[in-house]
A and B are shown apart, each in its own frame.
Chain A
Amino acid sequence: MAVETAVLQSEWTKIRTVSSTVWTLASAFLVTVAMGAGLSALTNATFDDMRAVERATFDPTLISFSGMILGQLAMVVFGVLVVGTEYSSGMIRTSLAAVPQRATFLFSKITVAGGLAFLVGLATSFVTFFLGQALLGGHRASISDDNVLRAVIGAGLYMGLIALFSMGVAAMLRSSMLSLGILVPFLLLVSNILSAVPKAKEVAQYFPDQAGSKVMRVIPDAMNSEKAPYGPWGGLGIMALWVVASLLGGYLVLKKRDA
């Protein structure tokens, strides 16, 4: 047990002493809040121009989270860098020479970085929700409305999970560049494009980001979108399975391969 505490403490020192931690987490927060606020204000101003069916399924909570599509990328960068820089700098050899127990090493790192990502994610989701609702004027939702609190907490968890997923991918690929090169286009383009293509969307709705983001909806068919075959927590659960798979894969790679 002493080893685990020591490794956790060491990983915390590592994570707080590099500037990339601050700027990735800060940009995740700022981008999400700023873009959410901007789109909320815009929606408020153009509400009457929307189609009737969109107005009928209007989801003010979801609107305030629209910044997450970009903000999550900063979370991805954070997760990838936390693990990837160990490899790119060669620090991994120093680390593993000091902590020969590789499982302890990897999961301590993930615990510390994941904990931080969840904290920042939750702070982001609450701030962006309240700021967004304030700018939505008369169309706002209240935190005490049905399911709204679930959506806000879920949005924070989503950001933490996406960071964890990235850490697992980086541990599997053992390279920051490769991991970012795959994750960013996937989240920004591939996943969104496939979810708009009729047949592909049957599959795409089980992708980690598509499934996980359903938890942010208060109204299941918000903005006249299709209903998913799983509930909000079910979606987050699917995402969690992806995260477990990627972390497990990362651990197996670390365990089997030479450092």
Chain B
Amino acid sequence: MIEAVGLTKRYGAKTAVYNLSFQVRPGVVTGFLGPNGSGKSTTMRMILGLDRPTAGHVTIGGHPFRQLPNAPRQVGALLDAKAVHGGRSARSHLLSLAQLAGIPAQRVDEVLGVVGLQDVAKRRSKGFSLGMGQRLGIAAALLGDPQVLLFDEPVNGLDPEGILWVRNLMKKLAAEGRTVFVSSHLMSEMALTADHLIVIGRGQLLADMPVKDFISANSADFARVRIPGTEPAQREKLTSVLVEAGGQVLPEPDGALRVTGLQLPRISDLAHGADVRLWELSPHQASLEEAYMRLTQGAVDYRSTDDRLAHLQPPLQPGQPGYGMPPQPQVQEVPQQGWYAPPPPGQNPYGAAPQAPAPGPNPYAGGPQAPAPGPYAPPPAPQPSAPQPNSLQPSDTPKDAR
């Protein structure tokens, strides 16, 4: 059990982590998500006593890490795959760590076998690939058979076989009743591995809930409706019928319609009643990635922009497209692919949160505001103060914007 209470870390004027409180429970894999620079690694380092929190505290099994008796037997961590002396062999590296906790040398060979490095055990780790480095780091974490395990980006650089292995390993460790805390950027991987999620953005807690709840709370399931593209009149007719029936309709770039607020059979009945032919009527379940993107869109620190190659190209002749640069009609603010449906009004408590500027003790409130409404931004809500039925999260909108 890892417990953080009011954890805050400042580096000079920059606040890396602000007032973070959460618990990581044993028996489940807890995923730790957040955009780059959101404070994941800083939090991990504070859990391990490497960085001292500016305020608040974090304990493992009730003790601060630095006061744990025989820490290597209780906590195993992979922080940085390259945090080994390159001139030392994999086996010597693990042996030096094993000796710290009085772990017999046979255990070193055992974990080398577990992570599949037995053939390169005598080689210097300098020549290791990133994937081999990750395996060595995982071996170090497993060495003391600890009850609490922390992994920072464990699947970086691993091959598909390795990713599958790590996934199963995490699940197995959790099933044995251990506390497993894993950070990752790979949403698809987290969706398969984690049972519970802790999401932070700009150093603050955005969500702390089971994966299933997270997806349904932060995404809108919708129906995709497609009608023959040759009949725009039918399309308008269907749209008005659906809106009359209480649904929200949004056109998708390829001509299909996104319908929310209506069940599939009801859509079909309405279309039938209006005498509109349907080519597609499909349910769409949002993925963890979509839910995550929607949640963190306001908390992304490092956002890439289009590479316009403005100074590398000769001036364009009017009407002549540049190489690889077809004129783009729609403004794609956020380059992460995909086009996420705006949530129905009132369902997404986060979508609007980061946009509310409010001077106050919150160090982030005055920070960069969310960009101008892009494809992700919520639509102009009919009622600006829509009721927010979802109040599962500790960092709900009103608090966030304080």
Q: Which residues of A contact B (CB under 8 A)?
A: 2-3, 6-7, 9-11, 13-14, 17-20, 85-86, 89-94, 96-101, 258-259
Measured CB to CB, the closest approach of chain A to B177, in angstroms, equals 22
Is there a chain A Cβ closer than 8 Å to B356's Cβ?
A: no
5 further A-B pairs in the complex, CB-CB below 8 A; given A3-B70, A11-B96, A89-B86:
A6-B100, A6-B101, A14-B85, A18-B87, A97-B79
**Distance in angstroms between the alpha carbons of A98 and B102 in the assembled complex:** 12
Report which of A6, A18, A99, A259 forms a contact with B102, defined as CB distance below 8 A. Answer: A6
Given known pairs A6-B101, A94-B83, A96-B49, the reply for A14 and B66 (CB within 8 Å) is no
Given known pairs A6-B100, A13-B92, A258-B51, the reply for A94 and B84 (CB within 8 Å) is yes
Question: What residues of A have a CB within 8 angstroms of the CB of B51 in the complex?
Answer: 258-259
Cβ contact within 8 Å between A94 and B99:
no
**Distance in angstroms between the alpha carbons of A98 and B79 in the assembled complex:** 12
Q: Mark B79-110, 1 if CB is under 8 A from A, else 0.
A: 11011111111001101110111100000000
Report which of A92, A93, A258 forms a contact with B52, defined as CB distance below 8 A. Answer: A258
Cβ contact within 8 Å between B102 and A91:
no
Question: What residues of A have a CB within 8 angstroms of the CB of B49 in the complex?
Answer: 96-97, 100
Given known pairs A13-B92, A19-B87, A93-B50, the reply for A100 and B68 (CB within 8 Å) is yes
Cβ contact within 8 Å between B71 and A97:
yes
Number of A-B contacts (CB under 8 A): 90
Measured CB to CB, the closest approach of chain B to A6, in angstroms, equals 5
**Distance in angstroms between the alpha carbons of A74 and B284 in the assembled complex:** 68
**Distance in angstroms between the alpha carbons of A3 and B66 in the assembled complex:** 13
**Distance in angstroms between the alpha carbons of A10 and B92 in the assembled complex:** 10
Question: What residues of B have a CB within 8 angstroms of the CB of A91 in the complex?
Answer: 83-85
Q: Which residue of chain B is the closest to A17 with respect to CB atoms?
A: B92
Cβ contact within 8 Å between B65 and A100:
yes
Question: What residues of A have a CB within 8 angstroms of the CB of B102 in the complex?
Answer: 2, 6
**Distance in angstroms between the alpha carbons of A85 and B68 in the assembled complex:** 26
Cβ contact within 8 Å between A9 and B99:
yes
Question: What residues of A have a CB within 8 angstroms of the CB of B92 in the complex?
Answer: 13-14, 17
Can you list 12 A-B pairs, Cβ within 8 angstroms, ordered by A? A6-B102, A10-B100, A11-B96, A94-B97, A97-B48, A97-B49, A99-B71, A100-B66, A100-B67, A101-B66, A258-B50, A259-B50
